[in-house]
Every structure is written in structure tokens, then in C-alpha cells.
Amino acid sequence: MSPSRRIHLRGISLARAGKRAMAFVAISCGLVVGSNSATHAAGTAVVVPPAVVQTTWREPQLLTKDARPRFDAVKTIAVEALESIATFIDVPTAENFAQFQISRAALVTRVAARVDEPRAAMLEAWSQASLKHQMALIAGLTTLGVGYEYGSDNPKKGLDCSGLVAYAWQKVGIALPLQSKRQWESARDVEQKDALPGDVVWYPGHTMMYLGVGDAVLHSARPGLGVRIGRINWKEISHLKFGNPEASLSSVNRAAGVF
């Protein structure tokens, strides 16, 4: 058998064995994310030819069989940032605001790097948003790694797409329905250029949270993936809409006296 008829998986040659072997390779290749290897459910690295490796960044897609949380380093920073913004809202001193700025900057640094967007642009977008928008988005980021659970807005059980958005905005006292289209209908329709970090991003059957720059979003993707940071796939979305769940941004900003 010629070398061209073999596929090498970490030093093991897999002889060409019909449709089943090729199906296995196709599934493995589907997990390739911006590198020459990927990790499938068993944790084994699968090396594939460079020709099938994506050349542009894509978020990791780690397949799981249940909704158990997966570790995400950004989540730890988000938890700290959520605590700092809550402290500042409760006790709006200059010292608490400075601490919140530090925590927010650390979180933005990680998030911007993951979606390959300019850190300065993302930090500016977040800092110009209302405190409610910032707190809702940060609350959403604390659920990174939580598994997908249909109809749930409880991160201890798992979250579906609308459950994530509802959970995040409930943290700032804004109740959104557990249905993707109704969440957008409950918000104020805005153009993408006017969308703020934390705004609802909706297309038929799915809802997300805008990260404030480019096409970056936070969402609970689907069963097996759960809550993650990613990008809007414009090739598959023809009816994308943005919505602002907060009734009045200016009143919040005036009351805070900081933005």
C-alpha cells in the first residue's frame, strides 16, 4: 500500500478501510481549530494534514456527552470583575471604581484575545456602556463552560441560548422571557453599529449576547458545546437583529456619575 493511501494519527498508520474509516477521519477533522491538532471526547490528539486545517481563528469546540461545566480561565476573571462592579454599585467610591476598572481591563484583555479583536476598541466599548449593560455581560461571562440544557436559565443545571441571556440580564433586574425571539421583541431594536456590549443578538432559533466589537458574541451554542465565546456566522444568517434590553441608558449613566 502506497504512503498516499495511509492516514497517520500520532504515529499510528490507519489503512484506508472504506467508508467507516473515512467517516472517522471526517469527524476528527471537524474538530480542527486553527492548528494541526484537535482534542476529541476521549482526549486524544488527532493530527491531520495541513491542507484541511483552518487558517483562520475559530473557537474551540470540545464535545461532551453531558451538561457538566468545563473549566474556562476567563470565567475566573469574570467572577472577580462581577464582584468588583457589584461592590462599586453598592459603595460608589473612587477606590471601588478604580478596582472595578482594573478587573474590567483584565477581563477585556482575555476576551479580546480570544476573539482576535483589538483590546483598546473592546475596552472603549465596554466603558461607554451603562453599568447595567456591563454587569449583565460580565454575569454572562461567569457562565463560560457551563453545558447546554434546553429550557434552563440555571447555570447549575445548564443553560440554553435564551437561558443564558435571561440569566445575565436578571442579574441587573431585567426579566427576559425564555424564548429567543421574544427576548429580541422585548428589547429595543438597534442597528449593529449602535449595539452595546450585552445587547441581545438574535436570528430565528438562536439568541446571543454582543461583546461590543466586530462580530464577537457570547452564547450557549448547542448541546455538546454549551456557553462559549465565538463569532456571528454571517454566511448562514440572513435575518440577524440586535436589541437593547435596557429601557434607558442615560438615566443609569447620570445616576452613576461616572460614564
Q: Does 93 share its domain with 208?
A: yes
Q: Does 77 share its domain with 40?
A: no
pLDDT score, position 233: 78
Q: How far apart are the first and last CA of the chain?
A: 69
Q: How far apart are CA 171 and CA 173, in angstroms?
A: 6
Q: How far apart are CA 177 and CA 166, in angstroms?
A: 7
Which residue type does 149 have? E
Find all residues with CB under 8 Å of 197, minimum gap 6, and list them: 125, 126, 129, 133, 134, 137, 210, 211, 212
Which helix or strand (DSSP H or E) is residue 127 part of?
helix 119-128
Give just the sign of the alpha carbon dihedral 31, 36, 39, 44.
positive
Contact of 130 with 246, CB cutoff 8 Å = yes
In total, how many domains does the chain have? 2
pLDDT score, position 90: 96
Q: Does 39 share its domain with 154?
A: no
SS3 165: helix
pLDDT score, position 15: 38
Whether the predicted pLDDT of 182 surpasses 50:
yes
Contact of 58 with 33, CB cutoff 8 Å = yes
The half-sphere exposure of 148 on its side-chain side, counting CA atoms within 13 A, is 17
Percent of the chain with pLDDT over 90: 60
Q: How confident is the model over 147-166, as a mean pLDDT?
A: 96
Domain-embedded: residue 102:
yes
pLDDT score, position 107: 98
Domain-embedded: residue 164:
yes
Domain-embedded: residue 150:
yes
pLDDT score, position 62: 33
Q: How far apart are CA 33 and CA 257, in angstroms?
A: 44
Whether the predicted pLDDT of 25 surpasses 90:
no
Choice between 122 and 6, residue whose per-residue pLDDT is larger: 122
pLDDT tens profile 52-91: 223 233 333 333 333 445 668 899 999 999 999 999 999 9
- Domain range spanning residue 19? 3-52
Q: Does 187 share its domain with 96?
A: yes
Which helix or strand (DSSP H or E) is residue 123 part of?
helix 119-128
Q: Does 9 share its domain with 102?
A: no
Choice between 196 and 69, residue whose per-residue pLDDT is larger: 196
Burial class (CB in 10 A: 0-12, 13-18, 19+), 179: middle
Q: Does 177 share its domain with 240?
A: yes
pLDDT tens profile 97-143: 999 999 999 999 999 999 999 999 999 999 999 999 999 999 999 99
Comparing C-alpha atoms, which of 144, 106, 108 is closest to residue 128? Answer: 108
Q: What is the CATH number of the domain that holds 122?
A: 3.90.1720.10
The cell numbers describing 123, all together, are 475596552
Q: How far apart are CA 33 and CA 50, in angstroms?
A: 12
